[in-house]
Amino acid sequence: MKCENRLRATRASKSFTKQTWLPREQAQMKNKQTDGSAEGMQPETRTLWARTTLRVAAEKYSLVSLPTRMLSEAACLVAKEDRRFAALIAEPDEVSLTIRDSAWQTSSLRRHATAQSGPFCAITFNLDLNQAVIGYFAPAARRLAEAGISIVPQCAFLKDHLLIQEANLGKATEVLKKLIADCKKPRQPQSGAGPGSST
């Protein structure tokens, strides 16, 4: 499992996505690699962000909390999504469902929901990641937090995703595009590393 990242400026809802920290995030925090600036990133992380593109789902999403007894019904609803983004998390205390708002509004599961939030927009970091990668998500979470944008991370095996409140989509996209652009710039030489510096 990839992330119970929860690095958010504020909590948009009680529900989160995964139960365990991404190994790359845990190691990143342990090693204090939390600088959101491109210059402060590890070279490998910077290279990955320079290759990243953003994919925004066309439809709006709802984030829903259901009783644990509704797991099978929730799974059936997700199964109908047919290559559309959706997420289903089973925990001891709840079943958390991320689903297109249009599908949710017509679902018989609505009467069983204990809480729901939205509308959200789903942003995918369109880059396949190796599970050994360290610190990839942290720069995005930090910059979005500094911009006052609440996020709900939702991470799959290959790619990382974010739920963003619909009202914040434009600002969030701008912040993330700036992160990518910064990582594409040539690295500045470190102080004291130029010609004539002592070794």
Other beta carbons within 10 Å of 71: 15
| Interval 59-114: pLDDT, tens | 999 999 999 999 999 999 999 998 899 999 999 999 999 999 999 999 999 999 99
Percent of the chain with pLDDT over 90: 66
The set of residues, in sequence order, having a beta carbon less than 8 Å from that of 91 and lying 6+ positions away, is 19, 68
CATH architecture of the domain formed by 23-181 = 2-Layer Sandwich (3.30)
Long-range contacts of 40-43 (CB under 8 A, 24+ apart): 41/135, 41/139, 41/183, 42/134, 42/135, 43/187
pLDDT of residue 132: 87
Residue ranges per structural domain of the chain:
23-181
- Helix crossing, 169-184 with 43-51: angle to 10°? 120
| Interval 101-156: pLDDT, tens | 999 999 999 999 999 999 999 999 999 998 888 889 999 999 999 999 999 999 99
Q: pLDDT-based confidence at 191, cuts 50/70/90?
A: low
pLDDT of residue 39: 57
